[in-house]
Amino acid sequence: MNRKDCLKFIRSVNDKEKIQSLLVEVVKAGDINKRGTWSQHANKLLKWIDGGLVDPAPFTIFRPNGNKKLPFYAFSSLPFADCPGKGECVKYCYSLKAWRYPAAFFRQLQNSLLMRNNKQMIAQAWQAIPQARTVRLFVDGDFPNVDLLRFFMDLCKARQDLSVYGYSKSWQEFVSLNASGYEWPSNYLVNQSNGSRWINTGIGNAFLQLPVVRGAFDAVPVDKSFIKSRAYQDKANPGSDLYRKAVKEKLKAMHKRVFACPGNCGNCLPQGKHACGSKSFDGVAIGIGIHA
């Protein structure tokens, strides 16, 4: 499957029968017995949907120790399909890079389907997360509407032992839920991810004032040589010091207090802490170079 094929699923995410039809096409195009292929993973998801989207899910709902850059539990859904606040970010969306991997794409699709058809399975998977862990909501995708935002915030309240954080462009959904008098969980922090359609609007400003919003997280343009050398991924990579300096310079044109993301979550502050989920970084603009 290529990106064009993946986008067909995005456009059909609210039509379960269409999703099934698209999966059948992927299954028929390859070998379902060959491990790691699009056909094998599509077949797993198709069987699950045909069976009524019930437990167990074919892919882990909350992926433990997400990846090398993200040593936390992580939840993802389909970008674009679940991003009501998307704007300029569609031009450099990092999530689309994950579509090179069948399991990553179909996990996103699975979770988007669960949000629409069986939220209870998400709640059960949430309760199964071990004690006192850090969780990121969302890595890919976003809160698609106010009802699901409330659902996830209620999950946070139910597990006060968890430290939960994320990035969002769904600013209108947050502002709307706040206007209803909702009491936000004390163990959740969200970063204002730039690229939203609501940038430089009253909604954007209102979002920043919410008690669960840590501050801005901006993707900024940097020299392509930094991206080519992967200086943005790890502070041990060549050129990482110059890269972070370049990011800070871009941020200072927009914010007073700034911090350049060194790439790997969990190691940018002492003792395994991270700025994006830290109350001590309230109001500090954190930035990363655009690397899509």
Task: Work out the pLDDT band at 199, boundaries 50, 70, 90.
Answer: confident
Peptide bond into 270 cis (omega under 30): no
Using only C-alpha atoms, the chain has a radius of gyration, in whole angstroms, of 19
Amino acid at 218: D
Pick from 44, 49, 41, 47: which is nearest to 15 by CA?
A: 49
Alpha-carbon distance of 271 to 118, in angstroms, equals: 38
φ, ψ (nearest 5 deg) of residue 86: -60, 140
- Give 144-192 pLDDT, tens digit per residue: 999 999 999 999 999 999 999 999 999 999 999 999 999 999 999 999 9
Q: Percentage of the chain with pLDDT > 90?
A: 73
| Cβ atoms of residues 289 and 219 within 8 Å | yes
- List helix spans (H) across 142-263: 146-158, 171-179, 202-208, 224-228, 240-252
Q: How far is CA 204 from the centre of its chain?
A: 19
Task: Work out the pLDDT band at 292, boundaries 50, 70, 90.
Answer: low
63-77, 92-106, 185-199, 226-240: range with highest mean pLDDT: 185-199
Q: How far is CA 206 from the centre of its chain?
A: 22
Both tokens of 269, joined, read 């502050």
| Cβ atoms of residues 32 and 43 within 8 Å | yes
Q: What is the pLDDT of residue 69?
A: 64
Q: 3-state DSSP call for residue 85?
A: coil
Q: Could you give the angle at the alpha carbon of 169 between the alpha carbons of 168 and 171, nearest 5°?
A: 100
Backbone dihedral region of 25: left (phi > 0), alpha (psi from -120 to 50 degrees) or beta?
alpha
Q: 3-state DSSP call for residue 272?
A: helix
Alpha-carbon distance of 278 to 224, in angstroms, equals: 30
DSSP string computed for 93-154: -GGGGGGGSHHHHHHHHHHHHHHHH-HHHHHHHHHTSPTT-EEEE-SSS---SHHHHHHHHH
Pick from 92, 76, 236: which is nearest to 141 by CA?
A: 76
| Cβ atoms of residues 239 and 275 within 8 Å | no
- Can you give the residue ranges of every domain in the chain? 60-100+119-211
Q: What is the pLDDT of residue 68?
A: 57
- % helix / strand / coil in the chain, to the nearest 5? 45, 15, 45
- Non-local (6+) Cβ contacts of 181 within 8 A are none
Task: Work out the pLDDT band at 133, boundaries 50, 70, 90.
Answer: very high
Query: What predicted TM-score, i.e. pTM, was given to this entire model?
Result: 0.93
- Give 80-103 pLDDT, tens digit per residue: 999 999 988 887 787 887 788 999
pLDDT for 35 beyond 90: yes
CB burial of residue 94 (10 Å; 0-12, 13-18, 19+):
middle
- How many other β-carbons are positioned within 10 Å of the β-carbon of residue 235? 17
